[in-house]
Amino acid sequence: MEMLAMLYIWVKAAHIIFVIFWMAGLFMLPRFFIYHQECVVGSEEDSKWIEREKRLKNIILTPSIIIVWVLGLFLAMQIQAFQMGWFHAKLLVVLLLSGYHGWMSAYASKLARGERKMSDKKLRLMNEVPGIAAAIIVILVIVKPF
């Protein structure tokens, strides 16, 4: 039993670490987009931004979201969180944040094709989404309001 308790706290620590990595990437990507949109399509600078965004997605964002989900679901099963109201709310916010991740990845592909459909102002506003989601998730997990 003590071994399972130790495993649980190590998995929880790993989950939090990868949440931090994921959030860092989600904060960086829209900032990259703002700078990327300023350069000329097809230029050397454009190619550099495409490569930076690709690396951010492939090295940080994609592995992190996968690990966060796998470890998070493991932790939820261990504490039977699917029966808790706060967890349902947290799961909804994490699903929305995952959708945001997918949307940002799709926008990176559009930028790589030379499409620049969003304004800098809108991208700056979109940059607030991960912070708001993180605040809500932390409150739900720590306070457990319901």
Give the pLDDT of residue 44. 98
Report phi then psi at 60, rounded to 5: -110, -60
Check the annotation: does 15 bind a ligand: yes
pLDDT in tens, 26-47: 999 999 999 999 999 999 999 9
Angle, alpha carbons 65-123-104 (nearest 5°): 30
Give the pLDDT of residue 84. 97
Query: For the chain, what are the domain ranges?
Result: 2-143
Residue 2, pLDDT > 90, answer no
Give the pLDDT of residue 3. 86
H runs (alpha helix) in 56-128: 62-78, 85-112, 120-126
Check the annotation: does 54 bind a ligand: no
Give the pLDDT of residue 139. 97
Query: Quick check: 127 and 31 in contact, CB under 8 A?
Result: yes
From CA 108, how far away is CA 36, in angstroms rounded?
10
Mean pLDDT of the chain: 96
Query: Quick check: 57 and 29 in contact, CB under 8 A?
Result: yes
